[in-house]
Amino acid sequence: MLQSIQIANDPRITIQLSCDLPYYFQPNDTIYATITFNPSQSVDPINTNITLVFQCDNITINVLGKIAAPGLVAEDAHFGEVRKFEVRTMTRKVVNAGNIDILLQDLINENSVPCFEYITSKP
């Protein structure tokens, strides 16, 4: 007889059985368990156990999982004051601080069109 299920104290794991407990397990009988891992609260990997408690024995199910989490970090580019005809360059970096590969497909310059014009000489 399956008496109970013990789940480690991790809110990211839930389990639902195809039967109610306690359950009398007959020969050649099958129980289905739907185990759900919802890592929305944390990006830490999971390494825990679920224990099925029977009258005669316990069965442990290992639960392992890694979270695929992208994490791009970019440095700002602050040039300060730059005079007309003066050229300044700087190198900035973008770091993949996550734990999955990210494909860089394109770079977009969002400020390529001047917003206003002004005249520097007096009439």
Bridge partners, 17 (sequence order) = 33
If you average pLDDT over residues 64-93, what whole number do you get? 84
* Boundaries of every domain in the chain: 2-65
Tell me: the pLDDT tens digits for 95-116?
888 777 888 787 776 765 555 5
Do residues 62 and 8 make contact, with C-beta atoms less than 8 angstroms apart? Answer: no
Tell me: the pLDDT tens digits for 20-30?
989 898 999 99
Residue 67's nearest CA partner among 12, 10, 11, 6 is 12
Q: What pTM, to 2 d.p., does this model score?
A: 0.54
Q: Which two tokens stand for residue 73?
A: 């970090």
